Structure 1
Amino acid sequence: MTFSIYDASAPVFVNSLRNMHAWLDKASDHEAALMTASLAPDMKPLPAQFQMASDSAKGAMARLTGVEPPAMPDTEASFADLKARCEKTIGFIEGIAPAALADSADRRVELRFPNGMGYGFTGTQFLTGFALPNFFFHVTTAYAILRANGVELGKPDFLQHLGQPNL
């Protein structure tokens, strides 16, 4: 059995986005305060962490397959909006067939910043060296903002996609 770029990307992104979606249910009593909450004054607030996790996941899948990601303006103003964004991102990812990533390990991926600078990667280097670490930075930051503001989350919530122990 081979472990593919698809296996290392799509299910990983989807599982974490579903977990994030569920965290908002646990945080519903704190919604008003959390929409502007951040970990530090120079960090983006909770909605931006959800937006950037979404952008990271859909952007990675798009770059690895050579398709355009769906446009999602950063206009979310409620938990319902953030959940809808998670759902839309999951739908995009789940719409990509594993075969679409068959040749993506060696695909040339360029990541350009607004100033013109950037990075060039193979698909494998992009996924493992940039896309997944960047995605999990924003997922973890969202989790930390929620925890720091009194939302009762624990490690089982971060890993809830595993379900109940099976041993």
Structure 2
Amino acid sequence: MSFSQYSATIPLLISGLKNLKGILAKAQQFADAKKVNPQTIVASRLAVDMLPLSKQVQIACDTAKGCGARLSDTDMPKFEDNETTLDELQLRIDRTLAFLDTLNPEGFEGSEDKAIVLAFPSVTLNFSGQDYVTQFVLPNFYFHLTTAYAILRHLGVELGKGDYLGRVGG
């Protein structure tokens, strides 16, 4: 069996989002134990010119659902970017996971050569489906996942590599 676009994306995105849920749960425990306002955590960033934790989570979710929708020709659910609490970020991840769970491998067949166009305010990016996965989806998703982890670690949330990687191996 060949390694499909589905196999290269959806299981990895689901795993990463589940790990992010665990990381956010530890952030909530940290906030409760240290009497830190969780909204302060959600608004935290690594540097003044970087996006806050809330946007890191939102973009990771958007990247995951965008990948699934674009490669499988499925309507992408639209989420408002209005989360201000750790619980709301958890719910956004849950909604993203629920969408990803509706996708099946057959819907991704032939998507390697599919034309994917991403239009941003300052640039339009054109990809084949395979290049979209390898040059945009996976690097972008892991950048925002890593940055969310780093923001929380920087604040003092006790996280380790295992929290980021989750369960690996058989």
| TM-score past 0.5 threshold | yes
Say which of 109, 133, 137 aligns to 1:131.
137
Residues 16 and 161, structure 1, Cα contact 8 Å, conserved in 2: no
Distance 2:67 2:121 in 1: 18
SS at the partner of 1:90? helix
For residues 42-90 of structure 1, the C-alpha deviation after alignment (integer angstroms, 9 at most, x for no partner) is 1111111000000111111111122221010001111111111001101
TM-score by length of 2: 0.91
Shift of 1:3: 0.8
Report runs of 4+ in structure 1 exceeding 3 Å deviation.
none
Alignment of 1:1-167 (within 5 A): 1-28=1-28, 29-30=30-31, 31-115=38-122, 117-162=123-168
Whichever residue aligns with residue 36 of structure 1, its letter is A
Shift of 1:119: 1.6
Residues 64 and 123, structure 1, Cα contact 8 Å, conserved in 2: yes
Distance 1:33 1:6 in 2: 37
Residues 9 and 127, structure 1, Cα contact 8 Å, conserved in 2: yes
Distance 2:92 2:167 in 1: 19
Distance 2:65 2:143 in 1: 15
Identity rate of aligned residues, in percent?
Answer: 40
Structure 1: stretches of 5+ with no match in the other structure:
none
Distance 1:38 1:63 in 2: 30
Distance 2:138 2:151 in 1: 20
Residues 39 and 86, structure 2, Cα contact 8 Å, conserved in 1: no
Structure 2: stretches of 5+ with no match in the other structure:
32-37
